[in-house]
């Protein structure tokens, strides 16, 4: 085989066609094929930059309102739109209505002027969250309350020192304080509650983000129901994921009187930096199609807000970035209401890391005392922070053995969602995967031949995304066959099959769809997938469109193409492509795709193992059998084989 140095011809896809004499020994062919498949095609981080460009082009800009009335109208429209079409999309009626079921357990007495009550409250039917409640001693009266949301805190959860310390300080000043655990952390620290498992609910057409939002809203519900809480004076605060909760519940639940998120959020243009991306609930499907986090912050005025950020935050949302993204754009919204005095910021420099320690707590307490003073008194002793710490084991509430998880909730609601699904059709499938037909274009940069092989270097692009591909064509064959190979692991994993086909005299195109393989990316596929999905795209729709575009491109010269897909991710993309454009392919063979997407739930598959598999509402409307029927229901339908 003649070796040739490949020169890049600008950003885009470089396609190497390395012709191989098909009569050579199979071992020789495989070695030559393996070498060709390993040739680099994409520029460094090329796919990364393309995904970032696609996301940034869809950032919803924040426009300063013309008047208070105009903004109130737009705010109410956006709030309702995001609640109905994103956060609570597909949520069963039983999740939305009624007071939460609360279980009260033992009380821990202290010498610090308050007692601690252990409890659980139900977020959705069957799923309860442990919490602790700080109750100031003294005259029984309606007091202001604070929800201290936790973030990504490991096993101690609500019993973590800084959370206890803030609860101690607030209770001694006369505030009722609720500190709940959070799915995936504290007493709910187990794989079945990990945040990427929310995609299991997405798959059946129920917003997985709803569980996280309802965790916050049910906390407010509980406090409002207590006769010792002033329902008009409820504040929320928290670090990191707790800061995110503090923003979201304040933005969408107007019962929150004051919010103080600490390192909790930033706008999407800054969020695309990998350390800022956050977990899946923070980039829920379609969340940023309608608004950005700057909009959500602007939902809060004229209610008081303290935005706390850390100067040297090693985790996320560093203060200088938040200043540009959140703080500066938000001030005019407060001024619009004549409420500039109700918005303040605090930047922590010591230690300046990702924290809610002494300096940040004091900033919050000062802001709270100005904007929502307790105005009451407590009865009992005073004690230091260290004396107020309680052993985490004593604060353990316990989780019901049958407590629901994302998986069990998805399976429980699947039957009803399937029964409600409209008839399957190609147009409906296109809507579910947000399909847009792409056309591939190519330009040959070089072509050369030897006695045994033909080589051609081509640049191929489709829809702003590159597809690294290697075409291997026998130099001497009378066969007119072309097979496109796609695989979850990328083209280098297909050397044996590619060599087998080439030895039989067939041309092979080893193609990598978006987020498959590793070339051109910096991070895992799940990072990119959640960003694409949150701005209204669907990775599965892009992959199917890419495959159809490639089949049309190569089929124009080689005739009808065959497609072989290896792995569940590539297999699903190939089957969806066949269902949408059955006339484009002669045959489709899929290896490794489950017989039903229900198996994703039964096996408790995490999102990171195949983000496009969890396309919103795909399972109840287009399971594998339904896709296969669509693919074969056409006069020019391909032969579809699932192995």
Which one is predicted more confidently, 538 or 447? 538
Tokens of 321: 């970035």
Instruction: For 392-422, write each residue's pLDDT tens digit.
Output: 999 999 999 999 999 999 999 999 999 999 9
Gap between the Cα atoms of 579 and 591, Å rounded = 17
Tokens of 157: 């959860």
Q: Which residue range(s) make up the domain with 613?
A: 13-54+428-642
Gap between the Cα atoms of 388 and 395, Å rounded = 13
End-to-end CA distance of the chain: 34
Longest dimension (CA), the chain: 98
| pLDDT value for 524 | 83
Tokens of 524: 């895992």
Instruction: For 586-626, write each residue's pLDDT tens digit.
Output: 999 999 999 999 999 999 999 999 999 999 999 999 999 99
Q: Which residues contact 362 (CB under 8 A, 6 or more apart)?
A: none
- The domain boundary residue, chosen from 351, 371, 391: 371
Q: Which of the four pLDDT bands, split at 50, 70 and 90, describes residue 561?
A: confident
On whether both 35 and 112 belong to a single domain, the answer is no
Which one is predicted more confidently, 533 or 450? 533
| pLDDT value for 376 | 67
* Residue percentage of the chain with pLDDT more than 90: 75
| pLDDT value for 444 | 59
Q: Report the relative pairing of strands 585-591 and 482-487 from DSSP bridges.
A: unpaired
236 neighbors 264 (Cβ within 8 angstroms): no
pTM, two decimals, is 0.93
| pLDDT value for 6 | 37
Peptide bond into 351 cis (omega under 30): yes
Burial class (CB in 10 A: 0-12, 13-18, 19+), 393: exposed
Instruction: For 77-100, write each residue's pLDDT tens digit.
Output: 999 999 999 999 999 999 998 888
250 neighbors 153 (Cβ within 8 angstroms): no
| pLDDT value for 153 | 80
Number of structural domains (the chain) is 2
On whether both 46 and 75 belong to a single domain, the answer is no
Gap between the Cα atoms of 158 and 181, Å rounded = 6
On whether both 438 and 330 belong to a single domain, the answer is no
Q: Which residues contact 40 (CB under 8 A, 6 or more apart)?
A: 6, 519
Say which CATH number the domain at 344 has.
3.40.50.1820
Tokens of 314: 């090693």
On whether both 233 and 355 belong to a single domain, the answer is yes
Instruction: For 39-58, write each residue's pLDDT tens digit.
Output: 788 888 988 999 999 999 99
Gap between the Cα atoms of 146 and 344, Å rounded = 18
Indicate if the alpha-carbon torsion angle 211, 215, 221, 225 is positive or negative: positive
On whether both 36 and 71 belong to a single domain, the answer is no
Say which CATH number the domain at 49 has.
3.40.50
Instruction: Tell me the H-state helices in 132-240.
Output: 161-172, 199-203, 209-225
Whether the pLDDT of residue 437 is over 80: the answer is: yes
DSSP state of 87: I
Gap between the Cα atoms of 198 and 208, Å rounded = 4
Is the residue at 542 inside a domain?
yes
| pLDDT value for 312 | 96
| pLDDT value for 7 | 36
On whether both 256 and 125 belong to a single domain, the answer is yes
Is the residue at 116 inside a domain?
yes
Whether the pLDDT of residue 432 is over 50: the answer is: yes
Q: Which of the four pLDDT bands, split at 50, 70 and 90, describes residue 445?
A: very low
Is the residue at 393 inside a domain?
no
| pLDDT value for 480 | 77
On whether both 86 and 33 belong to a single domain, the answer is no
Which one is predicted more confidently, 313 or 470? 313
Whether the pLDDT of residue 150 is over 70: the answer is: yes
Q: Which of the four pLDDT bands, split at 50, 70 and 90, describes residue 477?
A: low
Whether the pLDDT of residue 315 is over 80: the answer is: yes
Choose among 202, 210, 54, 194: nearest CA to 615: 202
On whether both 344 and 445 belong to a single domain, the answer is no
Q: Which of the four pLDDT bands, split at 50, 70 and 90, describes residue 458?
A: low
Gap between the Cα atoms of 643 and 114, Å rounded = 64
138 neighbors 186 (Cβ within 8 angstroms): no
On whether both 453 and 593 belong to a single domain, the answer is yes
Q: Which residues contact 642 (CB under 8 A, 6 or more apart)?
A: 571, 575, 590, 593, 595, 624, 628
* Residue percentage of the chain with pLDDT more than 70: 91
| pLDDT value for 457 | 46
Q: How many other CB atoms are there within 10 angstroms of residue 45's CB atom? A: 14
| pLDDT value for 520 | 81
Gap between the Cα atoms of 310 and 317, Å rounded = 8
Is the residue at 570 inside a domain?
yes
Gap between the Cα atoms of 552 and 545, Å rounded = 11
Instruction: For 258-286, write each residue's pLDDT tens digit.
Output: 999 999 999 999 988 767 788 999 999 99
Whether the pLDDT of residue 1 is over 80: the answer is: no
Which range (12-26, 448-462, 470-484) has the least confidence?
Answer: 12-26
| pLDDT value for 380 | 67
On whether both 170 and 97 belong to a single domain, the answer is yes
Is the residue at 571 inside a domain?
yes
- The domain boundary residue, chosen from 354, 371, 388: 371
On whether both 105 and 223 belong to a single domain, the answer is yes
Whether the pLDDT of residue 5 is over 80: the answer is: no
Q: How many other CB atoms are there within 10 angstroms of residue 173's CB atom? A: 22
pLDDT mean across residues, the chain: 90
On whether both 485 and 437 belong to a single domain, the answer is yes
């Amino acid at each position: 085989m003649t070796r040739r140095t490949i020169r890049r011809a600008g950003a885009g896809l470089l396609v190497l066609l390395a012709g191989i004499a098909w009569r050579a020994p199979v071992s020789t062919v495989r070695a030559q094929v393996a070498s060709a498949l390993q040739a680099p095609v994409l520029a460094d981080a090329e796919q990364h930059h393309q995904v970032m460009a696609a996301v940034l082009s869809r950032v919803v800009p924040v426009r300063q309102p013309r008047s208070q009335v105009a903004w109130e109208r737009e705010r109410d429209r956006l709030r309702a739109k995001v609640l109905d079409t994103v956060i609570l999309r597909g949520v069963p009626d039983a999740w939305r209505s009624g007071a939460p079921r609360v279980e009260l357990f033992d009380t821990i007495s202290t010498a610090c002027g308050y007692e601690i009550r252990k409890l659980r409250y139900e977020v959705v039917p069957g799923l309860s969250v442990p919490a602790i409640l700080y109750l100031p001693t003294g005259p029984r009266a309606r007091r202001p309350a604070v929800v201290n949301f936790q973030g990504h805190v490991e096993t101690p959860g609500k019993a973590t020192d800084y959370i206890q310390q803030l609860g101690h300080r607030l209770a001694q000043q006369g505030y009722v304080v609720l500190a709940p655990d959070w799915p995936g952390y504290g007493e709910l620290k187990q794989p079945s509650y990990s945040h990427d498992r929310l995609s299991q609910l997405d798959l059946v057409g129920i917003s997985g983000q709803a569980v996280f939002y309802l965790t916050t809203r049910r906390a407010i519900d509980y406090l409002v129901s207590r006769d010792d809480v002033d329902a008009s004076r409820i504040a929320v605060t928290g670090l990191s994921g707790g800061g995110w909760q503090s923003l979201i519940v304040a933005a969408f639940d107007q019962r929150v009187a004051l919010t103080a998120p600490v390192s909790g959020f930033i706008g999407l243009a800054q969020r695309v930096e990998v350390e800022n991306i956050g977990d899946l609930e923070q980039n829920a499907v379609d969340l940023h199609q309608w608004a950005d986090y700057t909009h959500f912050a602007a939902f809060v005025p004229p209610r008081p807000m303290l935005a706390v950020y850390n100067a040297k935050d090693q985790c996320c949302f560093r203060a200088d970035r938040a200043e540009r993204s959140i703080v500066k754009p938000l001030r005019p919204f407060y001024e619009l209401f004549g409420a500039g005095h109700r918005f303040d910021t605090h930047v922590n420099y010591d230690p300046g890391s990702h924290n809610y320690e002494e300096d940040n707590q004091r900033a919050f307490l000062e802001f709270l005392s100005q904007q929502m003073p307790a105005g009451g008194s407590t009865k009992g002793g005073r004690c230091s922070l260290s004396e107020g710490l309680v052993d985490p084991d004593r604060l353990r509430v316990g989780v019901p053995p049958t407590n629901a998880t994302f998986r069990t909730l998805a399976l429980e609601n699947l039957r009803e969602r399937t029964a409600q699904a409209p008839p399957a059709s190609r147009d409906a499938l296109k809507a579910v995967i947000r399909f847009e037909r792409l056309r591939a274009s190519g330009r040959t940069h070089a072509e050369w031949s030897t006695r045994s092989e033909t080589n051609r270097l081509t640049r191929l692009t489709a829809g702003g995304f590159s597809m690294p591909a290697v075409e291997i064509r026998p130099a001497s064959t009378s066969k007119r066959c072309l097979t496109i190979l796609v695989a979850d692991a990328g083209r280098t994993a297909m050397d044996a099959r590619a060599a087998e086909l080439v030895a039989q005299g067939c041309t092979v195109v080893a193609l990598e769809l978006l987020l498959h393989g590793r070339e051109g990316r910096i991070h895992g596929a799940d990072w990119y997938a959640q960003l694409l999905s949150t701005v209204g795209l669907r990775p599965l729709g892009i992959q199917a469109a890419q495959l159809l575009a490639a089949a049309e491109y190569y089929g124009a010269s080689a005739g009808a193409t065959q497609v072989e897909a290896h792995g569940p991710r590539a297999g699903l993309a190939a089957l969806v492509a066949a269902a949408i454009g059955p006339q484009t392919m002669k045959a489709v063979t899929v290896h490794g795709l489950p017989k039903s997407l229900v198996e994703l739930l039964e096996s408790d598959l995490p999102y990171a193992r195949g983000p496009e598999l969890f396309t919103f509402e795909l399972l109840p409307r287009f399971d594998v059998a339904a896709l296969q029927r669509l693919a074969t229901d056409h006069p020019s339908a391909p032969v579809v084989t699932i192995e």
